[in-house]
Every structure is written in structure tokens, then in C-alpha cells.
Structure 1
Amino acid sequence: MASPAENLEEFFPKYNPPIRAHKHTCVGLGIETMKRLKVLENDFPGISKAMMLVSCDENIKDLDDYTTASPGPQGFLIETEKDHVMVCISIRVNGRPGVFLSDLGYHVSRVVTVMADRCYPHTGWFIQSDEPHSRKEYNYQLNLNNSNYVEWHERDTRGSTVNERLSLIYVAKPYLTAINVTEKRNLVWDLRSLLARNPKGHLIAGIYFPVKEKTQQFTIFFDGNNGKQRKKLKFESFLQLQKIPEELVNEVEQCNEQLRLRDGELLSTLNKLATIMADEEYVKELLAINSKVVELSAGH
């Protein structure tokens, strides 16, 4: 809003997003993880050199087409979103190649071992989350046609319905444009969330909402005095801080505490969000940029 650019479409290409402490997306979490793992260098010499950020394309439609197009993703970069990153460490176990993957952006609470031969200590399928309404299972394996890629399979079971998704992680080289591409791409993503999880990756509290024109509500959830609470609230209720009903303030404060934020921080964030979501022109421009990104990558 403060920039001299006339609109978001002009401003967005020039913007260099900062990586800020305690406000981490998958990019910030990956960078922070690598920083912390460097203390292992004394016990495991060479770990720092073997460690890198790697890129991931989600929702792959044609596995063979993608993995055989060229040795790496550069052959069709314009058609890939590169919308996720994680930490990768190349390993050898008695000469057998593999990788460790750490994906805090998707709240995977373990380091996943991916062996080329899919034998021990290969992780294989594991339960990522088991909620009453949804059970998610993940599996990571090196692609048999192109060992530069790890296939990430997700199985989501909801009652009798099973949905499957495939993503591809490029592990042959470090991903050098995580901030300029992935962090920036996710700024215009049309689903926003601020979440807290326990050490096993299970959701505790937070807020989330889809960005849509004229959609003026968000979901808040937390552990309340009467058990788990999940409510849809209207942004307009938070436009004027002094007029927010006391009941809402209490609920936001409970959620704030479970998000481990500073006193009043969530209320202040919701107040700013209410102002942004009320700006119809801004929301329209943001969704238009997101649509263009999706359209560009529709080839894969």
C-alpha cells in the first residue's frame, strides 16, 4: 500500500520477500532447519555439505512425462510452480545411495529415509495424521526411471473415500531460488492459515480461510474450556478493535495463547486482515495473479 506502484500487479514482480524469524513458511522452516542441523558437523563430518534445500512440485498429473522430459526440471520451468521446499541430505548406507528428507512445512514430525533400493532403513508408508474425519498416509520413494526425483505419494482416507496425490521432489541439486520463486509464489496463494501443532504434527489451534471475492469469514479453532472449539467468524466483526464483542475477544485470546503469540497479537492480526479483506480491489488483483501462476503451470 505504501509503494509508489499503482497496483499489486505492478508491485509484485519487483517485491523481494523477507524471511522473518518466527513467521515461517516452508522456505523459512527449511532455512532454519539447516542452520540448526549444522551443529551436527562435529559428530558427522560432511553433513553440512550434504545438506540442501530441494524443490517440490505438487499435484503431478503425468509422472512419466515429467521425469523423462530432461535430467532436471529446467526443461519446462515455465510450466512448474515449485510451490514447496524441504531439506534433503544425501546419504550412503554401505555404498547404497539414498536421502534423508525433513519436511517441516508439511508438519512431518520425522526425518524420512528414502533408499534407492527401497530396502532397510527405507521408511516406506507411514501415517502422517489420523483425525476423526481424515487419515493421511505418506510414502516417499526414488523414481525408478530418474533417480534425480523422489516421488511423494499421499493417501487421504475420509470414510469410504480415498483420495491420492502425487508430488515430485528434485533431489539432484540444491534449489537456489526458494525465496524469489517459492516464497513469492505462496504470497498470492488463495488459502491462508496461521496454525500451531504439537511435536507429532497434529493441529492444536489456529485460523484459516480461503481468499475469495466477497468471502468475509474465517475459521478459528482451539481447545476451549468446554473442549475443542471450531467456529466461523466474520472479518467485519474485527474492523474496529474497540467494537469487538467481549465474547469474541475471549475466544481469540484463548487461540492466541495456544498459538504461542505475544499478548494481543492475534487480535491485531485479525484487525489488519479485516481491513485487507474489505479492500475488494486488492483481493481481486491478488486472485488474478494467483490464477495466472496456476494457468502457467497447468502443463504439469
Structure 2
Amino acid sequence: MASPDDNLLEFYQKYNPPIRPHKNTCVGLAMETMKCLKVLENDFPGITKSMMVVSCDENIQDLLDYTTSFPGPQGFLIETEKDHVMMVCHVRVAGRPGVFLSDLGYHISRVVTVMADRCYPHTGWFTQSDEPHCRKQYNYQFNLHNPNYIEWHERETRGDKVKERLSLVYVAKAYLTAVAVTEKRNLVWDMKSLLGRNPKGHLTAGIYFISKKKDTQFTMFYDGLNGKQRKKFKFDTFLEVQKIPDEVVNDVEECNDQLRLRDGELLSLLKKLATIMSDEEFMDELLEINDKVVQLSAGEK
């Protein structure tokens, strides 16, 4: 808003997003993981050179076409958002190639081992989360037609309904534009969340919402005395802090503590978000940019 640019699009095109400590998306988390693991260089010489940030395409329509048309993703760059990254480390076990994969952006609390021959110590299918309403299971394996790619299979079970999704991780080369492309793209993504998890990757508290032009609300959840609490609030409730009902303030403070934020930090954040959401011109421009990115990745003119 303080920029001399006439509109958000002009500003967005020139903006170089910073990577903020302790406020990381998948990009910052992958970089932070590599930074932390460099201390292992003395015990495992070469590990620093073996680690890299890699890109993930979460919109795979035709697996065979995608993996066999080109050795790498260059033929599909126009039609993909490249909105997720993770960290991999190339390894050999008794001469057998594989990778260690760390995906803190999707809150995976373990390092996944992916062997090219799918034999021990290959991780295979594992349960990522098991909530009363939803179970998520993941599996990572090298693509048989193109070993430059790792297939990421997700199986989501809700009651008797099973939904499956396939993504591809390109591990042959480092992804060099994680900040300029992925971090920047996620700034205008309409789905926003601030989440807290325990060491096993299970959700404990947080807020999330989808940006809309009007009547925007968010969901807040945290662990209460009677189990997990999940409540919806309208952002305009937080425009004037002094008018927020006491019971709502109590909910925010409980969620704030479970997110391990400073006293009053979540309430301050919600006030700022409410102000942004009430700016119709800004929101119109933001959602228009997101729509253009989606249209471009879908190959639309």
C-alpha cells in the first residue's frame, strides 16, 4: 500500500519476497532443513553437496505423458504452478541409488527413504495422519519410466470414501527459483493457514481460510477441555478490538498459547487480517492475480 505503483499487479511483478525466520512456507522450511543438516558434514563428508531443494508438481493429469515426453520438467513449465518444494539428499546404500526426502511443508515428521529398487530401507506406504474424520496415507517411489521423478501418492480416507492424488517431485537437479517462483506464487494463493503441530506432525491448533471478496470467515481450532474445538468467525468481528466479545477473545488466547505465539500476537494478526479483508479494492486485485496464475497453469489464454 505504501508502494508508488498504481496497482497491486505492478507491485507484485517487481516484488522479491523475503524468507522470514520462524514464519516459513515450504520454501523457507526446505532451506532451513538444509542449513541445519550441514553440521553433519564432518561425520558424513559430501552430504552438503548431496542436498538440494527440489520442485513438486501437484497437478498431474497424465503420468506417462508427463514423465516420458521430456527428461525433465521444461516441457511443462508453462502449464504448472510449481507451488510446492521439499528437500532431498541423494544417497547410495550398498551401491543402490536412492534419496532421503524431507517435506516439512506438508508437516511430515519423518525423513522418507526412497530407494530406486523399492527394497529395504525403502519406506513405502505410511500413515501421515489419522484423525477421527480423516486418515491420510503417503507413498513415495521412483517413477519406472523416468528415474528423474519421484511419484508422491496420497490416499485420503473419509468414512467409506477413498480419494487418491498423485504428485511428481523432480529430483535430478536443484530447483533454483524456489523464492522467485514458488514463494512468490504462494503469496497470492487464496488458501491461507497458520498451523501448529506436535513433533509427530499432528495438528494441534491454528487458523485457516479461503480468501473471498465478501463475508470472509476463518476457522479456528485448538485442543480444549472437552476435546478439539473448531469454530468459525467472521473477520469483521476483529475490526475493532474493543468490541470483540469476551468469549471470542478467550478462544483466540487459547489458540494463541497452543500456537506458541507471544501474548496477544494472534489477536493482533487477526486485526490486521480483518483490515486487509475489508479493503475491497485490494482483495479484488489479489484474487484477480491468483486467477491469472491458475489460468496460466491450466494452459488457458
TM-score, normalised by the number of residues in structure 1: 0.98
- The letter for the 1-side match of 2:32 is E
Find runs of 4+ consecutive structure 1 residues off by over 6 angstroms: none
Residue 248 of structure 1 is matched in structure 2 by 248
The 10-residue stretch of structure 1 (68-77 or 103-112) with the greater mean CA deviation from structure 2: 68-77
- Which residue is 2:165 aligned to? 165
Partner secondary structure for residue 251 of structure 1: helix
Which digits, 9 at most, give the CA deviation of each residue in 1:85-113, with x for residues without a partner? 00000011111111110000000111001
**Alignment-mate amino acid for residue 41 of structure 1:** E
Displacement of 1:299 after TM fit? 4.5
For 1:59 and 1:128, locate their aligned partners in 2 and report how far apart those are by CA, in whole Å.
20
Contact map agreement 2:114 2:141 (CA 8 A) in 1:
yes
Q: Could you tell me which residue of structure 2 aligns to residue 39 of structure 1? A: 39
Counterpart residue identity of residue 246, structure 1: D
Q: Could you give the per-residue CA deviations for residues 34-82 of structure 1, whole angstroms, max 9, x where no partner exists?
A: 0000111111111001000000010211111111221111123111111
* Cα distance, 1:213 vs structure 2: 1.7
Return the letter of the residue paired with 1:271: K
Tell me how many residue pairs correspond in the alignment.
300
Distance 2:72 2:33 in 1: 25
Mapping of residues 1-150 of structure 1, within 5 Å: 1-150=1-150
In structure 2, how many angstroms separate the alpha carbons of the residues matched to 1:119 and 1:143? Answer: 14
Tell me whether 121-130 or 213-222 shows the greater mean CA deviation.
213-222
CA distance in 2, matches of 1:27, 1:140: 20
Find the residue that maps to 1:105 and give its secondary structure: helix
Aligned match of 1:211: 211
In 1, Cα distance between equivalents of 2:181 and 2:252: 33
Looking at structure 1, the residues matched to 161 and 59 of structure 2 have their Cα atoms a distance apart, in angstroms, of: 18
Counterpart CA distance in 2 for 1:61 and 1:199 is: 34
SS in structure 2 of the partner of residue 274 of structure 1: helix
The residue type equivalent to 1:200 in the other structure is: K
Of 260-269 and 58-67, the range deviating more from structure 2: 58-67
- The 3-state SS of whatever aligns with 1:113 is strand
| In 1, Cα distance between equivalents of 2:16 and 2:183 | 9
> Cα gap change, 1:69/1:299 in structure 2, threshold over 3 Å: closer, same or farther?
farther
Aligned-partner residue type, residue 284 of structure 1: D
Q: Is the contact between residue 78 and residue 299 of structure 2 (CA under 8 Å) also seen in structure 1?
A: no
- Partners of 2:90 and 2:17 in 1: CA distance: 29
Q: Distance in 1 between matches of 2:280 and 2:224?
A: 33
Distance (Å, rounded) in 2 between the aligned partners of 1:28 and 1:88? 14
Identity among equivalent positions (%) equals 76
Identify the range of structure 1 (285-294 vs 260-269) with the bigger mean alpha-carbon deviation.
285-294
Secondary structure of the corresponding residue to residue 263 of structure 2: coil
SS in 1 for 2:183: helix
SS in 2 for 1:114: strand
How far is the alpha carbon of 1:225 from its aligned partner? 3.6
Distance, in Å, in 1 between the alignment partners of 2:236 and 2:189 is: 22
Provide structure 1 residue ranges, at least 5 long, that are not aligned to the other structure: none
Task: Name the CA distance, whole Å, in 2 between partners of 1:141 and 1:256.
Answer: 38
What secondary structure does 1:136 align onto? strand
Distance 2:267 2:110 in 1: 33
Deviates further, 223-232 or 94-103 = 223-232
CA contact (8 A) 2:215 2:234 kept: no
- Specify the SS of the correspondent of 1:269: helix
CA contact 2:56–2:85 (8 Å) conserved in 1? yes
RMSD: 1.2
Question: How many Å apart are 1:210 and its aligned residue?
Answer: 0.7
Q: Which amino acid aligns with 1:270?
A: L
For 1:59 and 1:268, locate their aligned partners in 2 and report how far apart those are by CA, in whole Å.
36
Task: State the shift of 1:224 in Å.
Answer: 2.3
CA distance in 2, matches of 1:56, 1:227: 35
